Structure 1
């Protein structure tokens, strides 16, 4: 495929973009269109990076390029180029020049090639969160090493306390399903068709809870548009690019886009509502840190099967008691996730988690290109290069009680820093007190850019509100042995 190299002048960027014509499953350039972009980053992505690398979720990776690729085995996205005749499921190409052969005999799930009934049990529906499974012991630990090394979550616990069972059932009911993810990917793919006309050398990433393993059925869709390997000014350039996207998307996606507006912030976002898929969406520009921490958190969610249910429960509790809203001066969902991961690293003995960045520093380089990240889907197994397996056998209730106790008595907010990057205590006086760290009541280190993710907690009343909620939860856990998740979330 031929592409002209972009021409750069001092006044802006002139992109010579091929306009494609579909012919027999192949894309050919039939003419060249020239467009001027007034506010791109200093260096645009190379043609090679545009055509490959992580840009959005696909079956063979967490992300695929912004440019459509002829991928037929991807069950999460529809190919955007014409398929050749032999890809039609009604025909089968036999490799010879005479063309497609006769259709093959259809084989139903319960019958083999000879028409006999299979003795194997039918597979459960892929979006079902409530399939039957073997009963487990009190800790709910996987029975075999092969199960322990996979992305495995049991569906029931036996001989355990009521709260632990309720935490697991609540997680299975509220976690993000494959159908939820497919809707988000469909939204992403529809946006790509518009955005690639403006920024053909970019990549649109699904990030946040949709991909990090901690998503729920009501999670928003977070996306990041990468248009440069270099950083850009979030205050000026990112806002102008978002306004340009708002104008174009409002014109071409009017059939589903509702309530679209650009929200200025440290990292400005384009916020809108998808009226067809019933999804809230936040889109940012060139926030590569968000892509890196999505990848990191996804690995932590797979490191132990108890991590995701515990995180989802604590996030639900924090939201119900009113301490999970950074815009109101409390904790963001990302900060809460980091607090849970840090506790699981340093609190339980033996630990549930380790610091992946400390053990495998070469895999988590802060300034590495996001296009070089290993592609993972939320349901994929843990990569083979991670050998750690926790020997901790504590139940959900024990871990939840330990989390509350840790942050009400052991952790000192005035002199300690939550650092998932190090996986060990970090003193506040070792950090230079500038910007996000100055005059804040809670200090949580972002694992890659080392900023304070809890910078919104700068007022003492909001800090007292958070500590009061933690102490109230501690009292409930100590007084009621038959407590349920919903009882924990009640404000009284």
Structure 2
């Protein structure tokens, strides 16, 4: 076995990796671990450490004032020196690492080493067993003040407005901290100018965007545009003058002479930046180059100041974003207290501020943009959209970076003040209400336009391949956006979703916490100071998760409902194009496809009998099942629609034996869709959707204008619904895992379906039906589907109502459906054409 020395078996049949200090239960898990990133990385680190030990000497006996540079210069005579590590606290020993082992052997062969009159003791570096010691994770509350620390001061405040201002005071950088950061920037500017003449160090991000907090990183841009010009100018002059080089050219440092900035890659330049940091900036350590990141960066720490910093060379958009946030703060004083309070609220609710980096949590920049977007949508608006700000900028303020229009006024005085007079207390409550009712699944948040855009505008391939132009604003639409559960476009880089790292769990948690907080903000405990000295206002708002959120989940379980969310990123291209054509009315054609997939899962995968709940009898389970007619309860009309059999072939098309799709021959599913407020008559030629008809809401059958139709849909029209009566004939939820495992063992080669696929699950059900044939129904239930959206997340909600259940099986069946039905429906939607 690979890495025998690292792996130790235990009495229970498992294994322990001593290198990584990881326990695994079996051989397969061990193989996966040995091939994993963590084990490979630690193996590489160990090999590097061992090589360093082989080439290193332990030095002692030198004077306390001896510097690393002096030691390096002395031992350079024996061979190239890689690094000198000195115990700076006591100054009693040092480690000298040679680039080659020959240098170490030469130094050891010399019996006498004297440096500045002091005899050095030189011996090989002690070889220690490599042991992985995980870094101690930083407590998130060590970066920010704990709620317990804040409670007393917040409770003593006279109002919520005053509490929010106290939050700002508690977290923002002090003047002395800002001064220290400014001095470090000046030092870096001075040092880097020596190596990169005429360069410029520009701070950006949280340190300077007016939303700073204690211990925030120091983000820096090393602008080398002028340096490139300097280099090209001196190169040209040296070629013309020959030996008579200019004084500036002769004084140019070798670190710049060794590289052509105009052709060098960012990673190559950043390696030089890292070298300057390591050797020439006092107090800097832990320098690391991340050359493969989306934006290559050099990370470093400053020991005395306790700061972490980043240096990048190609992030001018981030600098412009910083200027934009500075402008927004200057336009309205209410923005900063709102942002600070909401950021801390999100951290307390574990929605943001991952102290260990990465992960599906909101970052501070995304939260800030959510607050700005909320203020753009107040009545009257508190902040203007980016497009409106652009119109107020003068010609000298026009700015285009990497092809993106980043124009806005440089000073707040150029923007008229807002007429909105709401106080901070009301705005904070309004923020939670706004996002508690926001359709994250069906919308894209655009600060540039100051409104939410239908997600369908970002679905079609045509929209991704080339920029479209908005007819009203004239601004370009993004070429490609990574869509997710929450979509927040960067104000300038319109193809960047700043919340693209989030998953559905985070989105649901954010919405749930907004709902709970909005409910709390309507209480007197939020609005008024307690006369009895109890906690109130922000303190209760910042408290950890409430029981109400868990209670809402139990309530949903009692209602026996299953949710199928709208996932734009998981839909096939053909469906995306169809929904793109429907624009803001995309929910109904999407709902039709969901209904098709749900019925197909119940009928073909789980072998239920399914029929529309229109009073007709359920057909025999061996017969084909039809879905009924389109109904309109508003006009009491009943229009017949051609009924069609629902099969997996209708939904995903027939498949050949090797699993490859073949051309579809029919798609005749027409679900029963009921709505009490029709909004649009879909033309199959326009939308490529069939089986759904819409009536005019007027009694005389006259048609509404397109504008009226769209307004009705967006203003809260009744949601379309569909309803079926179902019979279950086999205990399809019992023992599926064992049957699936046995089935996979029996299938070989091309006949083996993909794990977790619809085809495999269908065969599992058939095997269960064969092993446990039954002539009578097990249970019956009614399934009602409804599409929701506009003022809440776009999703289809399936409500199950049990009928006859003499054996008491329905509850187990429902729990099985809770996970199985959404998963299988999603797989069918992915294949749907």
Q: Which one of the candidate residues 419, 432, 450 is aligned to 1:391? A: 419
Q: Which one of the candidate residues 166, 171, 180 is aligned to 2:177? A: 180
| 1:219 alignment partner, SS class | coil
The verdict on how the C-alpha distance between 1:177 and 1:375 changes in structure 2, with shifts beyond 3 A counting, is farther
2:340 counterpart of 1:312: yes
Equivalent in the alignment of 2:515: 471
Equivalent in the alignment of 1:206: 203
Alignment of 1:427-438 (within 5 A): 427-431=454-458, 432=463, 437-438=481-482
- 1:225, distance to aligned residue in structure 2 (A): 1.3
2:380 counterpart of 1:350: yes
Equivalent in the alignment of 1:489: 542
On the 8 A contact 1:345/1:423 being kept in 2, the answer is: yes
- RMSD over aligned Cα, in angstroms? 3.3
Structure 1: 5+ residue runs without aligned partners? Answer: 1-159, 377-381
The verdict on how the C-alpha distance between 1:436 and 1:369 changes in structure 2, with shifts beyond 3 A counting, is closer
The verdict on how the C-alpha distance between 1:373 and 1:426 changes in structure 2, with shifts beyond 3 A counting, is closer
| 2:488 alignment partner, SS class | coil
CA distance in 2, matches of 1:244, 1:393: 53
The verdict on how the C-alpha distance between 1:444 and 1:369 changes in structure 2, with shifts beyond 3 A counting, is closer
Equivalent in the alignment of 1:274: 302
Alignment of 1:413-428 (within 5 A): 413-428=440-455
| 1:437 alignment partner, SS class | coil
2:485 counterpart of 1:441: yes
| 1:360 alignment partner, SS class | helix
The verdict on how the C-alpha distance between 1:359 and 1:248 changes in structure 2, with shifts beyond 3 A counting, is closer
The verdict on how the C-alpha distance between 1:439 and 1:244 changes in structure 2, with shifts beyond 3 A counting, is same
On the 8 A contact 2:284/2:302 being kept in 1, the answer is: yes
The verdict on how the C-alpha distance between 1:374 and 1:360 changes in structure 2, with shifts beyond 3 A counting, is closer
Alignment of 1:72-151 (within 5 A): none
Equivalent in the alignment of 2:351: 323
- 1:242, distance to aligned residue in structure 2 (A): 2.1
The verdict on how the C-alpha distance between 1:423 and 1:476 changes in structure 2, with shifts beyond 3 A counting, is same
- 1:392, distance to aligned residue in structure 2 (A): 1.4
Equivalent in the alignment of 1:6: none
- 1:406, distance to aligned residue in structure 2 (A): 0.8
The verdict on how the C-alpha distance between 1:451 and 1:333 changes in structure 2, with shifts beyond 3 A counting, is farther
- 1:433, distance to aligned residue in structure 2 (A): 5.3
CA distance in 1, matches of 2:376, 2:362: 20
Q: Which one of the candidate residues 401, 404, 421 is aligned to 1:367? A: 401
- 1:274, distance to aligned residue in structure 2 (A): 1.7
Looking at both structures, which has the greater relative contact order when contacts are Cα pairs under 8 Å and sequence separation is at least 6? Answer: 1
CA distance in 1, matches of 2:214, 2:539: 17
- 1:241, distance to aligned residue in structure 2 (A): 2.2
The verdict on how the C-alpha distance between 1:423 and 1:327 changes in structure 2, with shifts beyond 3 A counting, is same
- 1:374, distance to aligned residue in structure 2 (A): 10
2:161 counterpart of 1:164: yes
Structure 2: 5+ residue runs without aligned partners? Answer: 1-156, 229-260, 466-478, 529-535, 546-833
2:206 counterpart of 1:225: no
CA distance in 1, matches of 2:381, 2:219: 31
CA distance in 1, matches of 2:196, 2:408: 24
On the 8 A contact 2:161/2:423 being kept in 1, the answer is: yes
| Number of residue-to-residue matches in the alignment | 322
The verdict on how the C-alpha distance between 1:436 and 1:239 changes in structure 2, with shifts beyond 3 A counting, is farther
CA distance in 1, matches of 2:425, 2:342: 12
CA distance in 1, matches of 2:517, 2:286: 37
The verdict on how the C-alpha distance between 1:441 and 1:339 changes in structure 2, with shifts beyond 3 A counting, is same
Equivalent in the alignment of 1:113: none
| 1:418 alignment partner, SS class | strand
CA distance in 2, matches of 1:364, 1:399: 32
| 1:309 alignment partner, SS class | helix
TM-score by length of 2: 0.36
- 1:436, distance to aligned residue in structure 2 (A): 6.5
Q: Which one of the candidate residues 250, 255, 267 is aligned to 2:278? A: 250
**Greater helix share, structure number:** 2
On the 8 A contact 2:482/2:500 being kept in 1, the answer is: no
| 1:425 alignment partner, SS class | strand
**CA deviation digits over 1:154-176, x for unaligned, max 9?**
xxxxxx97322211122123223
- 1:262, distance to aligned residue in structure 2 (A): 2.5
The verdict on how the C-alpha distance between 1:429 and 1:164 changes in structure 2, with shifts beyond 3 A counting, is same
Structure with the greater alpha carbon radius of gyration: 2
The verdict on how the C-alpha distance between 1:366 and 1:437 changes in structure 2, with shifts beyond 3 A counting, is same
- 1:448, distance to aligned residue in structure 2 (A): 1.3
On the 8 A contact 2:202/2:222 being kept in 1, the answer is: yes
CA distance in 1, matches of 2:280, 2:434: 51
Alignment of 1:323-342 (within 5 A): 323-324=351-352, 325=354, 327-342=358-373
On the 8 A contact 1:457/1:463 being kept in 2, the answer is: no
**CA deviation digits over 1:80-127, x for unaligned, max 9?**
xxxxxxxxxxxxxxxxxxxxxxxxxxxxxxxxxxxxxxxxxxxxxxxx
TM-score by length of 1: 0.59
On the 8 A contact 1:226/1:287 being kept in 2, the answer is: no
Equivalent in the alignment of 2:191: 194
On the 8 A contact 1:437/1:455 being kept in 2, the answer is: no
- 1:300, distance to aligned residue in structure 2 (A): 0.3
CA distance in 2, matches of 1:428, 1:445: 12
CA distance in 2, matches of 1:242, 1:466: 38
Equivalent in the alignment of 1:157: none
